[in-house]
Amino acid sequence: MESKFQLQLKYLAYFLGAFIVIEIINLLSGRALNQFSILPRDPSSLIFILTAPFLHANLHHFFSNIFTLSIFAFLLFQFGNKQFLKVTAILILSTGILVWLLGRNAYHLGASGLLYGYFGYLVLAGWMQKRLSLMLISIVIAFMYGGIIFGVLPSRPYISWESHLFGFISGLGLAWLMRSKQR
């Protein structure tokens, strides 16, 4: 029988494996999958809220997201497997909808919206749950990765700072809304 830790590692491997497989397919197809990105206020791209987080513009974009995403996802698993699934699904939807509604007229893709959502959630949720181990996760995340907060500001035209901003806000909001269920 697998331990809780082994099970979490297995689920994390499946989760990251999906990103890797999609990246390989996208790379080999000449980035053909990137047509399934979010284009704000375009009704035909509304469904791409579900696909955009798994797509990346290039290998640098992919690798810049996947490493930190794997750390944050592993730490989110410490809140429970069901919590991981619930938080991930809600963050993908809420961040994508906000980008679709309020983002600038450009294609938005990549896992960074989810990454920033995890960041916001992890910084606040540990305090909301009032468990020492989860509070330590919040402290470590805030201390080690706090500098990424500047990514929510417009910097370069090809970076979806909107995904960063709306992901972070969604993560904070989700930690706050789920606080009573976590205790």
Domains, the chain = 4-182 (1.20.1540.10)
pLDDT per residue, tens digit, the chain (183 aa), is 889 999 999 999 999 999 999 999 999 999 999 999 999 999 999 999 999 999 999 999 999 999 999 999 999 999 999 999 999 999 999 999 999 999 999 999 999 999 999 999 999 999 998 889 999 999 999 999 999 999 999 988 889 999 999 999 999 999 999 986 544
Q: How far are the Cα atoms of 92, 104, 159 from residue 85, in angstroms, in the given order?
A: 11, 29, 27
In this prediction, residue 157 carries a pLDDT of 86
The CA distance from 79 to 126, in Å, is: 9
Global pTM value: 0.95
Return the pLDDT at 182: 45
The pLDDT of residue 15 is: 98
pLDDT at 120: 97
Residue type, 100: W
